[in-house]
Amino acid sequence: MTTAQDAAATLDVSMPAAVAHAGVWRRGLVAALLVAAVAVAFGNALQNEFVYDDRLLIVDNRAVGAPLDDLQALGSYRPLRTLSYRLDYAIGGLDPRVFHLGNLVYHAVTVLLVRAVVERAGASPWAAAAGALLFAVHPVQTDAVTYAAGRRDILCGLFFAAGFLAYLHYRERKSRVALMMALTSYVLAILAKEMALTLPIVCFVYERFAMARAGAPSTRATRREQMGRSRLFAVLAVVGVLVAGAAYGRFVRRVVEVTPWHGGTPGANLATVLRIWTRYLYLIVWPARLSADYSYRAFPVSTALLDGRALAAAVLLAALALAAWWRWRRGDLAGFGAAWCAVTLLPVSHIIPYRELLAEHYLYVPMIGVACVVAGAIDAAGTRASLRRLVLAAVVLVALAAAARTIVRNRDWRDTQRLWSATVATVPDCARARFNLGQAYFERVRFDDAEREWLAAVAITPNDLDTLVALAMLYYRQGRFDAAERWVTAALAGSADDVRVLNLAGWVALDAGDAARALPRFDAALAHVPTAGEGGRLAGERAAAAAGARLGREQATAALVPPPAPARARP
């Protein structure tokens, strides 16, 4: 062989290796940029305090401080989240920075998995990276990433994406290892959050999409292969239902028993859901007005099926569904992404009504579908490189604007007062936001501000027991016993057997100098608790009342703490 031929042969051998090396380097660079985007967009959240349900789920949760090998958390609600908190606690105790850093790390890993999912599902590498970038920095993600209690959504999304990626690997190579990884990821996703039950449906939808994109005629072999995978999806679904039933069965039964149809009827419930879906679309497209809470009048329910707003929402959703179907038929990944969004939103669409109407963190897993839509739109821009670069640049500019909005939104989660001040500014008719802001002011001894917020809350929900008790407590602390008596009487009118209310009512009467009225209130409280523990404390208070004792203001209020925010661990 001549020297020239030797050189050509060497070049033929080395070129594939060089191309592969360049591909690995390029993928590594993209991964590093995506992680950097997460750090830039969410880095300022590391200084945030524990807020909202963080106290219930982390600070006051005994399972968090248990040893790592203690399996007690497996019996708790969403056990994988609790176990992850336990790891954070082992690293840094109850330092909020450790918990927020954990959220950022898990989110960054999820972002990398999303890029891999979108690319393996059919997108070009750069389109997949652009879709993952938007997923990484979108402001609607702050309700999951910036909020320590949002860990459930991040872990669910992480293992949901890992399970789907393992399914794609199994689909291509028939690897049993990949199948076991898919099953394991699916179970872990459910243990993080129950909405992961939709993973087998998403896999089944992708099977149909892959067939439509291939456009090849169906043969007996392909039909047999598809039937085998369909049986696999059915098995996965059964496993998921069993796992979810074991982990969340009691909670679901309790929710079904106490939650009526939103709006009072199935038709009104459906109208409300249609409007909720359009609100989610709005939050994805224009996340300018974000809220930590949408309860009560923050998002008024529809009262009839033929609600004008619901009909307009139905028309919009139908138009988008037709567009998605058209892209699906053309083999565009955007069609599959739209189906992903719809399927993963089903568990939070009040097919079985529950208390929380909507929440931004519900969008964490559906946003993977949005990443597919974005990647599909980039790839559908045509074969002209200049046009695709233009679309890609537009997506990057949108991502930069989204990251800037995320940085600003992170500041709203800095502490309790900022969070609820921002929420009240966005949704002033949200009674729960008003109550929580009043609670924050009360704890800072800003009684005038607390009074303003609690009066606004009771104007929205006049019979809310927690707000009535809060106002009675506020006026009691200020020595305004007539006002305290008025509000505690209103609380007793709705909850005459509530020990907390009866106890407070006794103290209000006692410190107002009316021991005779305090005595039957303490007696009524005693009648509803055992003699040990709380009953023993109340017995002592009754004795003090019977003797006509007047405890000093500081000593009297020491037995009474500010009423805690209502239990509201969001689904």
**How would you write 18-31 as a 3-class SS string?**
HHHHHHHHHHHHHH
Residue 80, token pair as written in the block: 């994988």
Sign for the pseudo-dihedral over CA of 398, 403, 404, 409: positive
Check: CB of residue 437 under 8 Å from CB of residue 469: no
Q: What angle do CA 362, 145, 85 make, to 5 degrees?
A: 100
| pLDDT per position as a tens digit, 375-422 | 999 998 866 777 778 888 898 899 999 999 999 999 999 999 999 999
| Amino acid letter for position 100 | H
- Look at residue 442 and tell me if it is in a domain: yes
Give per-residue burial for 52-61: e unless 16+ CB within 10 Å, then b.
bbbebbbeeb
What total of structural domains would you count in the chain?
Answer: 2
Among 416, 438, 467, which residue terminates a domain? Answer: 416
Q: What's phi and psi for 494, nearest 5 deg?
A: -95, -20
Query: What per-residue confidence (pLDDT) applies to 522?
Result: 85
| pLDDT per position as a tens digit, 53-77 | 999 999 999 899 988 778 766 667 8
Q: Are residues 454 and 347 in the same domain?
A: no
- Farthest-apart Cα atoms in the chain, separation: 116
Residues 6+ apart with CB under 8 A from 260: 353
Residue 515, token pair as written in the block: 């021991």
Domain carrying residue 474: 430-558
Q: What's phi and psi for 295, nearest 5 deg?
A: -85, 170
Residue 326, token pair as written in the block: 């058209």
Residue 563, token pair as written in the block: 């009423």
Give one DSSP letter per residue of 359-382, joined into a string: -GGGGTTHHHHHHHHHHHHHHTT-
- Look at residue 53 and tell me if it is in a domain: yes
Out of 123-132, 228-237, 324-333, 456-465, which region has the weakest mean confidence (pLDDT)?
228-237
pLDDT, average across residues 125-131: 94
Q: Are residues 451 and 394 in the same domain?
A: no
Among 416, 449, 470, which residue terminates a domain? Answer: 416
Check: CB of residue 113 under 8 Å from CB of residue 161: yes
What is d(CA 107, CA 485) in angstroms, rounded to the nearest whole number?
50
What is d(CA 247, CA 243) in angstroms, rounded to the nearest whole number?
6
pLDDT, average across residues 318-324: 97
Query: What per-residue confidence (pLDDT) applies to 415?
Result: 96
Check: CB of residue 447 under 8 Å from CB of residue 478: yes
| Cα atoms found within 13 Å of the Cα of residue 448, Cβ hemisphere only | 0
Residue 483, token pair as written in the block: 């006002």
Report the interhelical angle of 447-460 vs 465-477 (nearest 10°).
Answer: 150
Residue 312, token pair as written in the block: 């307009």
Residue 216 in this model has a pLDDT that exceeds 90:
no
- Look at residue 291 and tell me if it is in a domain: yes
Query: What per-residue confidence (pLDDT) applies to 352?
Result: 87
Residue 174 in this model has a pLDDT that exceeds 60:
yes
- Look at residue 421 and tell me if it is in a domain: no
| Residue showing tokens 């056990």 | 79
Residue 6 in this model has a pLDDT that exceeds 70:
no
- Look at residue 342 and tell me if it is in a domain: yes
| pLDDT per position as a tens digit, 238-295 | 888 888 888 777 777 777 778 899 999 999 999 999 999 999 999 999 999 999 999 8
- Look at residue 361 and tell me if it is in a domain: yes
Q: Are residues 435 and 349 in the same domain?
A: no
Q: Are residues 409 and 504 in the same domain?
A: no
Sign for the pseudo-dihedral over CA of 87, 90, 94, 98: negative
Among 356, 387, 416, which residue terminates a domain? Answer: 416
Residue 525 in this model has a pLDDT that exceeds 50:
yes
Q: Say which residue, 354 or 456, is predicted with more confidence.
A: 456
Q: Where are the alpha helices (DSSP H) in 121-173?
A: 125-137, 142-145, 151-173
Query: What per-residue confidence (pLDDT) applies to 255?
Result: 75
The CA–CA distances, whole Å, from 453 to 50, 291, 480, 482 equal 21, 17, 18, 20
- Nearest residue to 115 via CA among 172, 161, 181, 179: 161
Check: CB of residue 274 under 8 Å from CB of residue 360: no
Query: What per-residue confidence (pLDDT) applies to 536?
Result: 54
What is d(CA 328, CA 326) in angstroms, rounded to the nearest whole number?
5
- Look at residue 10 and tell me if it is in a domain: no
- Nearest residue to 320 via CA among 302, 345, 342: 342
Q: How confident is the model at residue 534 (pLDDT cuts 50, 70, 90)?
A: low
pLDDT, average across residues 511-526: 87
Q: Are residues 390 and 514 in the same domain?
A: no
Query: What per-residue confidence (pLDDT) applies to 90?
Result: 94
Q: Are residues 236 and 336 in the same domain?
A: yes
Q: Are residues 514 and 409 in the same domain?
A: no
Q: Are residues 108 and 186 in the same domain?
A: yes
The CA–CA distances, whole Å, from 235 to 167, 200, 264, 444 equal 14, 9, 36, 54
- Nearest residue to 502 via CA among 477, 527, 483, 481: 527
CATH code of residue 506: 1.25.40.10
Task: Determine the distance from the C-alpha atom of residue 378 to the mean position of all C-alpha atoms in its chain, rounded to a whole number.
Answer: 29
DSSP 8-state secondary structure symbol assigned to residue 73: G
Q: Say which residue, 517 or 422, is predicted with more confidence.
A: 422
Q: What is the pTM of this model?
A: 0.89
Q: In this structure, how many other beta carbons lie within 10 angstroms of the beta carbon of residue 391? A: 18
Q: Are residues 402 and 534 in the same domain?
A: no
Q: Are residues 543 and 504 in the same domain?
A: yes
| pLDDT per position as a tens digit, 415-451 | 999 999 999 999 999 999 999 999 999 999 999 999 9
Q: Are residues 168 and 198 in the same domain?
A: yes
The CA–CA distances, whole Å, from 201 to 188, 210, 225, 292, 506 equal 17, 14, 17, 29, 57
Give one DSSP letter per residue of 48-62, joined into a string: ----TTHIIIIIT-G
- Look at residue 567 and tell me if it is in a domain: no
Q: Are residues 448 and 528 in the same domain?
A: yes
